[in-house]
Amino acid sequence: MPELPEVQTIVNELKKLVIGRKITNFWIDTPKLIKHPDLKTLEKQIKNLKIKNIRRKGKNILIDLSNNFTLLIHQKLTGHLLYGQWKIEGKKITPLLKGPLNDPINNFIHLILFLDNNYQLALSDLRKFAKVIFDKTETIENLKELKELGPDPLESNFNFEIFKKAIKSKKGKIKQVLMDQEVIAGIGNIYSDEILWWAKIHPLRTTVSLTEEELKKLYHYTLEVLKTAIKARGASVSDYRDPKGERGKYDEIRRVYRRENQKCYRCGTLIKRIKIGSRSSCFCPNCQKL
């Protein structure tokens, strides 16, 4: 699932590409992606609206439109937004531009916004789990799933005290707490593993067991890892691609995620993988002692 760095990369790119563009048409072949309103209402209301801004809340992309409307897209497990040109022939969607958009992982187009510059904003989603909500901006802002999000690591006021209070507010294993969107917004499986490796904290440690010094390290590396990942344009170990269809570069510098039975970059010990809840976690048993 695209996490904070991947979603922020998409937002940053789309801001350069589509702000000021008018939506001339709307196409979708999987209506179940739309959670609100009904398809006919969406098709009618979204046409001729202008894209005013694009922003991120947690892992959600919010496209602010004219007339005080907002389109929310949560890409879920395998979704990613692409910018280009496509030809629709029945059920076949063909990219018209040469290059990364022809990567097979970009060929699961299920939603297209047609823009007034003859380009399109498309959602590719292999598993069809993405979520789309269209409504007045005020209504979107007050959605339960947005109101319940924890503090965002990229906010300017995200200091150590806010981080500490958030972590300590939830009892449990630190790996799961870091991934809890109501504790900290935006962190998932990839970056929780990476943060914990850098901070030398075992994923099974409980939040109540963490010392002040360990919490400070955790806070530092939360910011460091996420900012580094954004500079690298995200991680493409799975389905994620940026709006041009290109892979992120964080794969090349990740330290521990999906490196089971490979040597730890710090001490040479073989990386282990365990299950915590329903999610896997990779860690160094030497550097990250329980």
pLDDT at residue number 207: 98
* Of 57, 59, 173, 259, catalytic: 59
Q: Name 135's Cβ contacts closer than 8 Å, sequence gap at least 6.
A: 36, 37, 69, 70
pLDDT at residue number 90: 86
Distance CA(148)–CA(118), nearest Å, equals: 38
Give the pairing of strands 120-125 and 69-74. unpaired
pLDDT at residue number 84: 98
Q: Which stretches of the chain drop beneath a pLDDT of 50?
A: none
Active site residue 3: yes
Q: Tally Cβ neighbours within 10 Å of residue 228.
A: 16
**Polymer length in residues for the chain:** 290
Active site residue 43: no
Active site residue 2: yes
Q: Tally Cβ neighbours within 10 Å of residue 125.
A: 23
Which domains can be identified in the chain, with CATH numbers? 4-147 (3.20.190.10), 160-283 (1.10.8.50)
The helix or strand, by DSSP H or E, that contains position 52, with its residue range, turns out to be strand 51-57
Distance CA(64)–CA(70), nearest Å, equals: 4
pTM higher than the cut 0.85: yes
Q: Name 234's Cβ contacts closer than 8 Å, sequence gap at least 6.
A: 2, 5, 6, 9, 240, 242, 248, 250
Question: What does the H/E/C string look like for 78-145?
Answer: CEEEEEECEEEECCEEEECCCCHHHCHHHCCEEEEEEECCCCEEEEEECCCCCEEEEEEHHHHHCCHH
Active site residue 55: no
* Of 22, 216, 227, 279, catalytic: 279
Side-chain half-sphere CA neighbours of 86 within 13 A: 30
Write out pLDDT tens, residues 263-275: 999 999 999 999 9
- Tokens at 275, concatenated: 């299950």
Alpha helices, H only, 169-237: 174-179, 189-199, 212-231
**Sign, Cα dihedral of 43, 48, 54, 55:** negative
pLDDT at residue number 80: 97
